[in-house]
Chain A
Amino acid sequence: MSEAPPTTPPTEAAPVHEGTATPRPTMSRKSVGASQRTAPDRFTPPEPPALEVRDLSVYYGKKMALSGVSMQIPVKKITALIGPSGCGKSTLLRSLNRMNDLIPGARITGAVDYHGHNLYGNSVDPVEVRRRIGMVFQKPNPFPKSIFENVAFGARVNGYKGDYNELVERSLRQAALWDEVKDDLKKSGLALSGGQQQRLCIARALAVEPEIILMDEPCSALDPIATLKIEELMRQLARDYTIVIVTHNMQQAARVSDYTGFFLAGEAAYGQLIEYGPTEEIFTTPMDPRTEDYITGRFG
């Protein structure tokens, strides 16, 4: 996998008309083709789906926040969800591991298939779902406990019987944090810098060995250097994990993701998936004019 993802800022992308331009050569790092796209929001990634969202709508009370989203999240790839704030990105992300259950009044219609089972099926236990589909939040939220206990917690509550020292080291290494904290694992997780805290939260999520990691604007509270570190880490993690990241930073989506879904809450006031496809296509040859307006910075 390429270590240096293309960094063409979207604002530099020349206005293109749908379907006419070919992807830029610098964008050719991935072997995904445009051929699967028949409409802006219809796209089937070549990889098998880790999650299949089918006609998902989410309501908060009477208010519809997200309407009729269908998309396949490919396995071991990074899928970015972009769009202006309030368009339902976090809402979609939370419904991928049933964190929406925690919001009083939240209601969901449609389905999310995971290994052929609907996450919203009757016999599905949300605790079981969340163990397999982890989440990293916008604001780093380490527990007010030691670094070691932060990482070990998920395994503990899941009854892990193996070697905790080994598990903690492995998870911290995977999260590229081990070298910075290996000498004081007893230190409070809250004593770390913001970027380290966020990597601790990633390590904590990895320690329960999920298949999928959902990240909701994981860098929005971090400085640019810490942000780059996390982005690098995400590229590494994508070898073993399926990652879905919400970001309002289009450069970030362009830098790290393989696929991008663009969401918008139009006059209708509920969010919709406007366009979905390989990241380079979304940023160079969007099919929907609204996508183009957004990525060229004309609104949002």
Chain B
Amino acid sequence: MAVSLPDENFTLQATGRVARRQAVSRASKWVLLGASMIGVVVLFALMVDTIVVGWSRISWSFFTSYPSRFADQAGLRSSFIGSIWILSLTIVFVVPIAIATAIWIEEFAPKTRLLEFVKLNLANLAGVPSIIYGVLGLAVFVRLFGWGSSILAGSFTLFLMILPMTVIASQEAIRQVPPSLRQGSLALGATEWQTVWYHVLPGALPGIITGVILALARAAGETAALIMIGAFTFIAFDNTSIWDSFTTMPIQVYNWTVRPQEAFRQNAAAGILVLMTVVLTFNIAAAALRERFRN
């Protein structure tokens, strides 16, 4: 068989319109990269600055000391414990209620106008500024229910604040479960609840966990709503009951940043490092859990 020679008048190199389109395409990659880098660089700079300022303050005594008038004796003890109380209670409230709400909306609720109204409101509530939840918490939990500025009032406020976003994330996760699975289950004589329990929930769990953790990260960093309900106080004892007054790490950090002395700024930076580590740990735990449930 004869080998044909390359045709001199024929080229597979980009010319004309193709060349122009390829140039745009190549340029777009750089533009997109640049856009991404803005966020990364700013975040990185902030991190570095925080570490430089705060690292020297990280020590065991920083965790075991109560707040103090003296910067070098002040620590995170009460706010760390307060954060753990608040977040634990918030999880306990939000997980079952959010999942139940999402299941009801997606699987059981009759598709009526009322349901559309509820869904619309959920989306709106997820966008309400946290200070509004603080005002609500103050009026209802602190005053009306007479719970005072307690851990219970704080966690209820945060629970209400993150409920909409958790419900919405859970709804998304539930919608991802293919309808064919539900049909397969129902066609075998499973009830709707059995179908939800054995197929929809396990399928949606990775997404639900992600949603809950992201919402919790927001709750962990929340300051305004808690200050609103009166958590901005000097706590020099370990919380032991849901009726205790409390403070949390972001409030403590805020507390330190408003002090004029340089030494308190260092405390604040160290507090931020701890807070970021906690949130990061949440996210890693979420990823690990998600992978486990995926298999």
Binding site for B on A (CB under 8 A): 97, 99, 102, 104, 127-128, 130-132, 134-135, 137, 139, 141-144, 153-154, 157-158, 201, 204-205, 208
Contact = CB atoms under 8 A, between A and B. Distances in A.
B44 interface: no
B203 A144 contact: yes
B189 A99 contact: no
Given A104-B111, A143-B199, A157-B194, A201 B189 contact: no
A127 B184 contact: no
A99 B191 contact: no
Contacts of A127: 186, 189-191
Interface in B73-128: 111
B198 A102 contact: no
B56 interface: no
B185 interface: yes
Interface string B244-279: 000000000000000000000000000000000000
Contact of A131 (B188, B199, B203): B188
Given A104-B111, A153-B198, A130 B188 contact: yes
A102 B183 contact: yes
B181 interface: yes
A137 B187 CA distance: 10
Nearest to A135: B187
A130 B183 CA distance: 11
Given A130-B189, A154-B190, A157-B191, A201 B184 contact: yes
A130 B185 CA distance: 10
A243 B49 CA distance: 72
A141 B183 contact: yes
B191 A205 contact: no
Contacts of A99: 183, 186-187
Nearest to A136: B187
A135 B187 CA distance: 6
Given A153-B198, A157-B194, A157-B198, A141 B184 contact: yes
B95 to A, nearest CB: 23
Given A131-B188, A208-B189, A141 B194 contact: no
Contacts of A132: 189
Contacts of B185: 143, 153, 157
Nearest to B177: A144
Contact of A154 (B181, B188, B203): B188
Interface residues of B, dominant DSSP: helix
11 contacts: A102-B183, A127-B186, A130-B186, A137-B183, A137-B184, A141-B180, A153-B190, A154-B190, A157-B191, A157-B194, A157-B198
Interface in B197-227: 198-199, 203
Nearest to B202: A144
Contact of A143 (B181, B186, B189, B194): B181
A205 B190 contact: no
B173 to A, nearest CB: 15
Contacts of B183: 99, 102, 135, 137, 141
A157 B181 CA distance: 15
A153 to B, nearest CB: 6
Nearest to A99: B187
B111 to A, nearest CB: 6
Given A104-B111, A153-B198, A157-B198, A143 B187 contact: no
Given A102-B182, A134-B187, 7 more contacts: A130-B187, A135-B187, A141-B178, A141-B181, A143-B185, A143-B199, A208-B189
Contacts of B182: 102
Interface in B115-162: none
A201 to B, nearest CB: 7
B188 A134 contact: yes
Nearest to B187: A135
A115 to B, nearest CB: 16
B189 A139 contact: no
Contacts of B190: 127, 153-154, 157
A102 B189 contact: no
A142 B188 CA distance: 12
A143 B184 contact: yes
A99 B180 CA distance: 12
A161 B198 CA distance: 19
A139 to B, nearest CB: 6
B84 to A, nearest CB: 35
Contacts of B203: 144
A157 B197 CA distance: 11
A143 B22 CA distance: 45
Given A104-B111, A143-B199, A205 B186 contact: no
